[in-house]
A and B are shown apart, each in its own frame.
Chain A
Amino acid sequence: DTAVSQTPKYLVTQMGNDKSIKCEQNLGHDTMYWYKQDSKKFLKIMFSYNNKELIINETVPNRFSPKSPDKAHLNLHINSLELGDSAVYFCASSHRQGPNTGELFFGEGSRLTVL
Chain B
Amino acid sequence: TQLLEQSPQFLSIQEGENLTVYCNSSSVFSSLQWYRQEPGEGPVLLVTVVTGGEVKKLKRLTFQFGDARKDSSLHITAAQTGDTGLYLCAGRLTGGGNKLTFGTGTQLKVEL
Asked if A108 and B31 sit within 8 Å, CB to CB, the answer is no
A56 in contact with B99 (CB, 8 Å): yes
The CA-CA distance from A43 to B43 in the complex, in Å, is 10
Say whether A48 contacts B42, CB under 8 Å: no
A109 touches B41 (CB 8 A): yes
Instruction: Across the interface, name the chain B residue whose C-beta is closest to A58.
Output: B99
Whether B98 and A99, one on each chain, are in contact in the complex, defined by CB atoms closer than 8 angstroms, is yes
Interface size class of B (residues with CB under 8 A): 20 to 34
Also in contact, A96 and B50, with CB within 8 A (given A42-B2, A101-B31):
no
Which of B19-27, B52-60, B71-79, B100-108 binds A? B100-108
Q: Chain B: which residue is nearest A45 at the CB level?
A: B99
B45 and A103 within 8 A (CB) = yes
A54 CA to B43 CA, complexed, in Å: 23
**Range, interface on chain A:** 20 to 34
Known A-B contacts A41-B86, A42-B104, A101-B31; the reply to A106 vs B98 at CB < 8 A is no
Q: Which of B96, B97, B102 has the most CB of A within 10 A?
A: B102
Within 8 A of B (CB), among A43-77: 43-45, 48, 50, 55-56
Interface residues of B (CB under 8 A from A): 2, 30-31, 33, 35, 37, 40-45, 48, 50, 86, 88, 90, 92, 96-102, 104-105, 107
7 contacting pairs across A/B (C-beta < 8 A): A41-B105, A41-B107, A42-B102, A43-B105, A94-B98, A107-B42, A109-B40
